[in-house]
Structure 1
Amino acid sequence: MTAVHVDIVSDVMCPWCYIGKRRFEKAVALLDGECTVQVAWRPFQLDPTLPPEGKDRDTYLAEKFGGIERARELYRNMEKAGAGEGIPFRFDSIALSPNTLDAHRLIRWAQNAGDGTQDKVVEQLFRLFFLEGANIGDHAVLAGVAGDAGMDAAVVKALLASDADRDAVSEEIVTAQRMGVTGVPCFIFDNRYAVMGAQDADTIVDAIRQVAEQKGAATG
């Protein structure tokens, strides 16, 4: 069976990335075993200038969107899009906009922690932030996510307290930007094609099929 590798460039404080994850999952289900889809989550930061301790959410949104009411209007539209994908966004529960670099370090470590671990970590980070308003920049929260996904929480907490892979994650983000990734989510299929944005499931299915057919023809 043909295998298609998909790099998903994403930020866990991006609501469209959560919506994009659901649509991607729907796409894989629609393929119904036509090919094997291998996924790796790659880092991106919507705002790397946020301080390590994060920033008050209302202050951040007012600065970013030119007023809190404008921000709330935009988020109401996202709530509708999320509801359509089964995501009950609770933006009002978010008190802090986090710096997500440490969350991306955890996601990076999860990639080598066993099948499915990275996806579990990404899903839990999205859920905690958007549904419970948790501070996903907090090391204790991140260590808890690691433990829930089957990783060694104590080891992860120690790594987070160090500079382990901080530069590597930052370099990955720079590399994505050099490749032309200006917004997320971005789905990169076998390093051949990229689909930008939280596209519908059919668009993603078409991209996966196209890559699978080309690979099949090349090896057939």
Structure 2
Amino acid sequence: MQAIQIEVYYDFICPWCWIGQRNLAAALAERDPHEPVSIRYIPFELNPTMPIEGMDRRMYRSQKFGSWARSQGMDAQVTGAGLAAGALFNYDKVMRTPNTRLAHRLMQFAQQHGEPQESAALYQAIYTAYFNEGRDIGSLDTLVEIAAQCAFDTSEVRAYLLSAAGLQDIDAARERAGRLGVQAVPTIRIDGDVISGAQPSVVFSNALLLAAQRKAS
């Protein structure tokens, strides 16, 4: 059977992308192991004009949402939803809102040079580092450390991120997403079927089942 093609449009700054990832992973764990899947992580920058060094999170969120109190209310909602999906948010540790372009480039490197399971582990690890541990995922050194934890060669990772490799690919991915009608994240395409938002795992399970039935016929 041909592999089911999955495209994950994401940004590491989006908490719902992490929740969606956990729900998709739960659905994938329940599928028939003889039904192969191929997952591609496609960057969708939400804050392309964010300063390279990021911003103080309280300042940024207060400006964006009108008040810090409103931001905290939204954080509480996300934290509750995350618990059900196994995504543990510690917003009291998150001091900065990062520029995520470097993290997107790291995922590009992983998908070009690593095995699928290594890319999946890195994808999860970056979310954990930011939302659970409060680390600055806009920092080169932080990303190199995360990559090392996922068995990537640190010297190769650092050289790639210090170069201009992959920059045009990120812009091209954003443009392609627009042509496909992707306007927000998370958006997950399973063999062309579009699932928008951090849907429950059963939604992903049903989409995988339908895709498998189409492949079989």
TM-score (norm. length: structure 1): 0.94
Query: Aligned-residue CA RMSD in angstroms?
Result: 1.3
Identity level (%): 32
DSSP-derived class of the 1:12 partner: coil
Question: Aligned equivalents of 2:190 and 2:82: distance in 1?
Answer: 24
2:95 is aligned to 95
Question: Once structures 1 and 2 are overlaid, which stretch shifts more, 130-139 or 165-174?
Answer: 165-174
Letter paired with 2:9: V
Deviation at 1:13, TM superposition (A): 1.4
Question: Once structures 1 and 2 are overlaid, which stretch shifts more, 134-143 or 176-185?
Answer: 176-185
Q: How does 1:1-220 map to 2 (within 5 A)?
A: 1-33=1-33, 35-112=35-112, 113-190=114-191, 192-217=192-217
Question: Aligned equivalents of 1:10 and 1:27: distance in 2?
Answer: 18
CA-to-partner distance for each residue in 1:88-121, whole Å, 9 max, x for gaps? Answer: 2001111110010110000011012123111111
Question: Aligned equivalents of 1:3 and 1:207: distance in 2?
Answer: 14
Question: Aligned equivalents of 1:115 and 1:74: distance in 2?
Answer: 33
Deviation at 1:177, TM superposition (A): 2.1
Question: Once structures 1 and 2 are overlaid, which stretch shifts more, 16-25 or 203-212?
Answer: 203-212
Deviation at 1:44, TM superposition (A): 1.0
DSSP-derived class of the 1:111 partner: helix
Structure 2, unpaired ranges of 5+: none
Question: Aligned equivalents of 1:185 and 1:205: distance in 2?
Answer: 16
CA-to-partner distance for each residue in 1:1-38, whole Å, 9 max, x for gaps? Answer: 45211111111111101100110011112224362222
Question: Aligned equivalents of 1:57 and 1:161: distance in 2?
Answer: 25
DSSP-derived class of the 2:116 partner: coil
DSSP-derived class of the 1:116 partner: helix
DSSP-derived class of the 1:163 partner: coil
Letter paired with 2:153: D
8 Å Cα contact 1:2/1:212 also seen in 2: no
Structure 1, unpaired ranges of 5+: none
Question: Aligned equivalents of 1:158 and 1:167: distance in 2?
Answer: 17
Letter paired with 2:160: L
Question: Aligned equivalents of 1:169 and 1:44: distance in 2?
Answer: 8
CA-to-partner distance for each residue in 1:158-212, whole Å, 9 max, x for gaps? Answer: 221221111111211221122111111111112x211111111111111111122
8 Å Cα contact 1:7/1:39 also seen in 2: yes
Question: Aligned equivalents of 1:3 and 1:171: distance in 2?
Answer: 25
Question: Aligned equivalents of 2:95 and 2:127: distance in 1?
Answer: 15
8 Å Cα contact 2:109/2:160 also seen in 1: no
Deviation at 1:87, TM superposition (A): 2.0
Deviation at 1:157, TM superposition (A): 1.0
Letter paired with 1:163: A
Runs of 4+ in structure 1 over 3 Å off: none
